[in-house]
Amino acid sequence: MAAKDEHMILRHDKARYRDIAGHLVLHRRLRGSKYEEHKSGVSETLDEARIDWVTALTLLIQKLLSVISFPLLCLGHTVEFFLNLHSLNGGFFGIFWGCLTVSLVIPRRKSADFRSIICHIDGRYELFRSIFLSDFPSIEPLPGLDVNPFSLSMMASKLAYENGAFIRNQVNKYWKMHFVRFFNCWNKYLKNRGTQAFICCDKEEDANVIVLAFRGTEPFNAYDWITDVDLSWLSMGKFGKAHLGFMRALGLQDEKDVEIGFPREHEGHDEGKLLAYYAIREELNQLLDKHKRAKIIITGHSLGGALAILFPAILAMHERHDIINRIHGVMTYGQPRVGDAVFGRNVQAVLKSKYHRMVYRYDIVPRIPFDKPPVALFKHFGTCIYFTSWYEGKVVEESPNPNYFHPFFVFSMYLNAVGDLTKAFLLAYLQNDFDEGFVSLMYRASGLFIPGLASHSPRDYVNGGTMAKIIAHKIINKEE
């Protein structure tokens, strides 16, 4: 059984480029390096581990992302400002006319009409009444709810990228549901409010469903990407080893001892520095007391998907079966790996058949952090619905090219990027209910340079969910 204070931390900020290169060329041990920390004597395999290309590449990616973090954030704010300026004023002519008549609408990031880059890529938020539920019977409908749970989770995970006012407006006005709360939570290690989530119910009184959606990896937030690729982990004792970066995002207070980092109860809430796990758990407690029949759907895209599956794992560690037993499903989209094989087995035993993980084609994020022991221990688990295209999905154990950089898949990844871009142009003419705009097409074009990046958009998960026929009668072997 793993000790509760067992850990392995890679600190990219302490690693110099020459240190990484030197360790890789000379095949030195990680132990004793300036940038790696672990508890010696706990794992002989880790004590003897030497830096490999996976560890070196991860550190290099993190360092490069750290260098460009501020300009990337500025670029994102600029792009979103001008996209909103264009949309709020009705196009270039509207901007020109607004300047002439002193009626120009200036975008405000926290307003209900300000849309993120995710929404500009794909603005669909309507809920569908039937999404491949008949093809995949293990996703059970909720009594009293006329919306497919998959549709609700899919759109909620996408909506989580927007600001609180936008989410409230969408939930209350268009979904005709009840918005409960938007969470903007503190990350002690990033020293910012970097974790967002929201909760809504289908009704204000006697609700049938409570939806918890975590925000995912923001395209222009380098620290989100640094977290996604991180190989650091912390032991949860008998529950296995979990990704340290995702635990930090949920409110971890000590990165070397999980019992200190996540005590069963946390005293002294600071409204300015809410910790995601405790604030959300407290809100769910109150909602479950109020809505006696309600079930919980937990969802998220990208990093949000990782938090969606880690949240019930911490509940299980704290033996909060009063909440766990009310979970109807955990449904994630483009989720990175969260823990080792022991973590996967234990969480799957807790959630049973309630966990479903969606992967679209060569989406880069489900292939990280890497799975290459003894340093990179991360494994996927649970039911995986793998969309081979917009029209077909398969239930698989693991998606192809699990570590992304296998040379065998290079041609296929680029071919897929070209195919998706081509289909995006053609489907606008072939299907009346599907039309991609300029921003979406430009984002698709990024897949021609970094294959799998464009496939990470929530847009393709909506396309897969609304267009694909699911082959669910057997598990497709990952070698197929």
pLDDT at 470: 67
Among 33, 116, 302, 455, the one annotated catalytic? 302
> For residue range 342-360, what is the model confidence (pLDDT) as tens digits?
999 999 999 988 999 999 9
Read off the pTM: 0.93
pLDDT at 131: 56
Among 120, 243, 356, 456, the one annotated catalytic? 456
User: Which backbone phi and psi does 332 adopt, to 5 degrees?
Assistant: -120, 155
pLDDT at 479: 38
Among 363, 371, 420, 460, the one annotated catalytic? 363
pLDDT at 1: 54
Domain range list for the chain: 7-476
DSSP tally for the chain: helices H, then strands E: 17, 15
pLDDT at 480: 36
First vs last C-alpha separation in the chain = 35
Per the CB < 8 A criterion, the answer to whether 260 and 340 are in contact is no
Question: Does a cis peptide bond (omega within 30 degrees of 0) precede residue 400?
Answer: no
> For residue range 65-82, what is the model confidence (pLDDT) as tens digits?
999 999 999 999 999 999
Ranges of residues in the chain with a pLDDT under 50 are 133-134, 473-480
Residue indicated by tokens 């995986």: 384
The residues near 86 (Cβ < 8 Å, ≥ 6 apart) are 92, 95
- 3-state class (DSSP) for residue 324: helix
Which of these, 313, 303, 298, 172, lies nearest to 236 by C-alpha position?
313
Active site annotation includes 130: no
If you ran DSSP here, which 8-state letter would residue 265 be given?
Answer: S
pLDDT at 133: 46
pLDDT at 71: 97
Does the domain at residues 7-476 carry the CATH identifier 3.40.50.1820?
yes
Give the integer Cα–Cα distance in Å for 245 and 232: 7
- What amino acid is encoded at 437 in this protein? G
Active site annotation includes 120: no
**E strand map for 407-466:** none
Active site annotation includes 27: no
pLDDT at 255: 92
Note the helical H segments in 291-390.
303-317, 321-324, 341-351
Q: Which two tokens stand for residue 349?
A: 């035993």
The residues near 333 (Cβ < 8 Å, ≥ 6 apart) are 154, 157, 299, 300, 301, 302, 305, 358, 360, 458, 461
User: Which backbone phi and psi does 308 adopt, to 5 degrees?
Assistant: -65, -35
Beta strands 209-214; 295-301: pairing state: parallel
Distances in whole angstroms, Cα of residue 277 to Cα of each of 57, 281, 288: 31, 6, 16
Per the CB < 8 A criterion, the answer to whether 104 and 98 are in contact is yes
> For residue range 257-283, what is the model confidence (pLDDT) as tens digits?
999 999 998 876 666 789 999 999 999
SS3 content of the chain, % helix, strand, coil (to 5): 45, 20, 40
